[in-house]
Structure 1
Amino acid sequence: MLVLLPPSETKADGGDGPPLDLDALSYPELGPTRRKVAEALTDLAADVPASLAALGISERQSDEVARNAVLWTSPTMPALRRYTGVLYDALDVKGFTRATLAKAQHRLAVASALFGIVSATDRIPAYRLSGGTTLPSLGTLRGVWKPALEPVLTGVEGLVVDLRSGSYSALAKTGPNSVTVRVVTEDEQGNRTTVSHFNKAYKGKLAAALVAARTEPSTVDKLVTVISKAGMTVERDGDRELVLLTG
């Protein structure tokens, strides 16, 4: 089982690892595309106004451009510690036991506009780049990533639990052995609405439950069983979607 997480706009500062080494990252077949995107991003960082426009951020966030400028020399840390925000707070990596962390190393991966996909323990620097970005020298990231990333994702063996958000799902499809998750809330009258504000938090809790599971589910039905045993209410909606009900 592979649980595919969305990244976060916010990243933790610093790190204690060596500078970025693309050859050391998981999924080495993505190396040439990673290098192309990374070089385009660092080249763009030399022009701050152009970077702000391309990244869709304001002058008050120019420190994000500075991060991109030193992408090749800044310190790194494991991906699960680099990404921050609501989902990663709910995942609570700091609270993992040694055994749970060992499971996370092969059960979790993070989608990335810069790297395509990284494993939980891949060491990466802080950066700013979103899935919907168009880089002036390359065009849309979907156009860049789809040819390289889609064969990787469709070739994953075993069940894929796809928790990516829209702009990252658009970068590449997953294979027929994947399932997406929709988070909804139900009122007293039984009316259901899609959760927006707490969507990331519940997906983080779901990912934590799947990492902690004693066995890896190999089918969607077994996945439903694992989630239910973790105390979460889940239903199937067709062959490739689950509905996670919140209180």
Structure 2
Amino acid sequence: MLILLPPSEGKATSGEGPRVALESLTLPVLTPARREVVAALTELCSGPEDTAMEVLGLTPGRADAVKRDLDVASAPTLRAAELYTGVLYDRLGLPSLLAERPDRVRERVLIFSGLWGVVGPTDALPPYRLSMGVKLPPLGGLGAYWRKALAGPLGALAEGRLLVDCRSATYATAFKPKGADAERSVSVRVLRERVVGAEVRRSVVSHMAKATRGDIARSLLAEGVEAADVAGLASALRDLGHTVETPETAAGTPRILDVVVRD
């Protein structure tokens, strides 16, 4: 089983480790692609600050992120487990999981990144700001860029394994399983259920989804769930106290796991 995670918009702002060693990152075969993205980002951030902020989608007052991106090749690093913060990662608690179950977490967690493609929880990374939704000159849209680079190596890593996809839509563009791998992929969708009058209503809510996906991922890792298929995953999560449903999907397409959260 592999758990696919998005990064977080919120990140730690400093590290204490040595500069990033691209060859040491998860899937070192991606080193040439990573080097190309770092070079393009550095070139962008070496130019006019307002242009860099526009391309990176930064709001006024976030010029510090441009300086941070300019220094990614030489800045001190920290583990991805400590770099990524925010709602999902607060609930997931990667540092404590790594302390308790290091091998399990290293083997089962992949974090997608606009800068690095994918990384593992113990990869040493500098703070940065680069969304997968950015169109980075001259490479173009990073979702398409990484989809081409990741298809072979990540497809091989994912072969035969259940993929529990907790990514947001922006990061899902970078890797789309096909065929049999698609049928072994399950996207975690969070539905808020509430009663309005006498009517039960359900809606998709993004903020609650981040927290709930963090809870789901933590449950799977902490309890050592190793499901072979979607039915086994749903059964295990129900045993752990989650309310889940598995609606039917077309053959050859990813499955959906609905996690129902009630008010």
For the aligned pair, the TM-score class normalised by the smaller chain equals over 0.9
Which among 238, 245, 257 is matched to residue 242 of structure 1? 257
Within 1, Cα distance between the matches of 2:9 and 2:213? 16
SS of the residue aligned with 1:121? coil
Match of 2:185 in 1: 178
Question: 1:142 offset after TM fit, Å?
Answer: 2.4
Within 2, Cα distance between the matches of 1:51 and 1:20? 22
Cα-to-partner distance string for 1:161-215 (whole Å, 9 max, x where unaligned): 1111111111221232211011001122322111222110000111101111234
Indicate if the aligned counterparts of 2:12 and 2:83 stay in contact, CA closer than 8 A. Answer: yes
Letter matched to residue 76 of structure 1:
T
TM-score by length of 1: 0.95
Structure 2 unaligned spans of 5+: 250-254
Within 1, Cα distance between the matches of 2:139 and 2:237? 41
Question: 1:154 offset after TM fit, Å?
Answer: 2.8
Which among 165, 175, 189 is matched to residue 162 of structure 1? 165
SS of the residue aligned with 1:182? strand
Letter matched to residue 16 of structure 1:
E
Match of 2:209 in 1: 199
Indicate if the aligned counterparts of 1:91 and 1:205 stay in contact, CA closer than 8 A. Answer: yes
Within 1, Cα distance between the matches of 2:103 and 2:11? 23
Within 2, Cα distance between the matches of 1:227 and 1:4? 17
Match of 2:228 in 1: 218
Instruction: List aligned pairs for 1:1-247, cutoff 5 A.
Output: 1-47=1-47, 48-96=49-97, 98-155=99-156, 156-157=158-159, 158-174=161-177, 175-176=181-182, 177-188=184-195, 189-239=199-249, 240-247=255-262
Q: Higher mean Cα deviation, 198-207 or 24-33?
A: 24-33
Within 2, Cα distance between the matches of 1:238 and 1:28? 37
Indicate if the aligned counterparts of 1:86 and 1:201 stay in contact, CA closer than 8 A. Answer: yes
Within 1, Cα distance between the matches of 2:240 and 2:130? 34
Within 2, Cα distance between the matches of 1:215 and 1:58? 41
Within 2, Cα distance between the matches of 1:210 and 1:192? 25
Indicate if the aligned counterparts of 2:81 and 2:95 stay in contact, CA closer than 8 A. Answer: no
Structure 1 unaligned spans of 5+: none
Question: 1:131 offset after TM fit, Å?
Answer: 1.0
SS of the residue aligned with 2:8? coil
Indicate if the aligned counterparts of 1:103 and 1:212 stay in contact, CA closer than 8 A. Answer: no
Within 2, Cα distance between the matches of 1:59 and 1:97? 36
Letter matched to residue 186 of structure 2:
V
Question: 1:97 offset after TM fit, Å?
Answer: 6.7
Indicate if the aligned counterparts of 2:245 and 2:258 stay in contact, CA closer than 8 A. Answer: yes
Within 2, Cα distance between the matches of 1:108 and 1:94? 13
Letter matched to residue 20 of structure 2:
L
Question: 1:10 offset after TM fit, Å?
Answer: 1.6
TM-score by length of 2: 0.89
Identity %: 39
Indicate if the aligned counterparts of 2:40 and 2:139 stay in contact, CA closer than 8 A. Answer: yes
SS of the residue aligned with 1:109? strand
Question: 1:216 offset after TM fit, Å?
Answer: 1.2
Indicate if the aligned counterparts of 2:191 and 2:261 stay in contact, CA closer than 8 A. Answer: yes
Within 2, Cα distance between the matches of 1:16 and 1:225? 42
CA 1:97 to 1:31, structure 2 compared with 1: closer, same or farther past 3 Å? closer
Within 1, Cα distance between the matches of 2:155 and 2:103? 25
